[in-house]
Amino acid sequence: MKFVAIVGTNADFSYNRVLLQFMKKHFWRMAEIEIAEIKDLPAFSKDVPFEETTPVWKLKQQINAADGVIFSTPEYDHAVPAAMKSAVEWLSYQSKVLHGKPAMIVGVSYGRQASARAQQQMRKMLLSPDCNANLLSGNEVLIGNAAKVFSKDGRLTDQAYVDNLEKCFTNFVEYAELFKNASRGEQLMSVKRPMIEDAYISFPTGRLSLREVQAIFNTIPFEIDLIDADDRFAYYSDKPNREHVRNVNQLGETYSECHPPKAVPAVKAIIDSFKNGTKDVVARPLMMNGHRVLIRYYALRDVDGHYLGTIEFTGSVDDILNLAENGAWNADATSSASHGHAAPAPVEEPAPAMDATTGASEDADEEPAAPSEPAAPVMSAAVQRAEQAETDASTGASEAADDPEETDADAMTGASEN
Task: Pick between residue 92 and residue 121 the one whose CB is nearest to ligand FMN.
Answer: 121
Report the distance separating Cα 81 and Cα 100, nearest Å: 24
Least gap, CB of 114 to ligand FMN (angstroms): 7
Task: Pick between residue 2 and residue 78 the one whose CB is nearest to ligand FMN.
Answer: 78
Taking a C-beta distance cutoff of 8 angstroms, is the pair 347, 338 a contact? no
CB-based burial of residue 330 (10 Å sphere; 0-12 exposed, 13-18 middle, 19+ buried)? Answer: exposed
DSSP, collapsed to helix, strand or coil, labels residue 288 as strand
Give, as one character, the DSSP assignment of residue 282. Answer: E
Task: Pick between residue 111 and residue 194 the one whose CB is nearest to ligand FMN.
Answer: 111
In the complex, the residues that contact ligand FMN under the rule CB under 6 A are 9, 11, 14-16, 74-78, 108-111, 146
Q: Which residue is closest to ligand FMN by CB?
A: 111
Task: Pick between residue 146 and residue 264 the one whose CB is nearest to ligand FMN.
Answer: 146
**CA distance to 199, 237, 260, 324, 340, per residue, from 336 (Å):** 50, 42, 54, 18, 11
Task: Pick between residue 26 and residue 301 the one whose CB is nearest to ligand FMN.
Answer: 26
Least gap, CB of 6 to ligand FMN (angstroms): 12
Least gap, CB of 75 to ligand FMN (angstroms): 4
Q: 232-263 burial, b for 16+ CB within 10 Å, e for fewer?
A: bbbbbbbbebbbbbbeebbbebebbbbbbbbb
Q: Which of 186, 190, 194, 187 is nearest to 210 (CA)?
A: 194
Task: Pick between residue 99 and residue 124 the one whose CB is nearest to ligand FMN.
Answer: 124
Task: Pick between residue 78 and residue 211 the one whose CB is nearest to ligand FMN.
Answer: 78
Least gap, CB of 101 to ligand FMN (angstroms): 23
Q: Give me Rg for the CA atoms of the chain.
A: 26
Report the distance separating Cα 282 and Cα 376, nearest Å: 20
Count other Cβ atoms within 10 Å, centred on residue 227. Answer: 26
Least gap, CB of 12 to ligand FMN (angstroms): 10
Count other Cβ atoms within 10 Å, centred on residue 68. Answer: 26
Least gap, CB of 88 to ligand FMN (angstroms): 16
Task: Pick between residue 77 and residue 402 the one whose CB is nearest to ligand FMN.
Answer: 77
Which residues sit opposite 223 in a β-bridge?
314
Least gap, CB of 256 to ligand FMN (angstroms): 33
Number of helices and strands in the chain (H, E) = 10, 13
Least gap, CB of 146 to ligand FMN (angstroms): 5
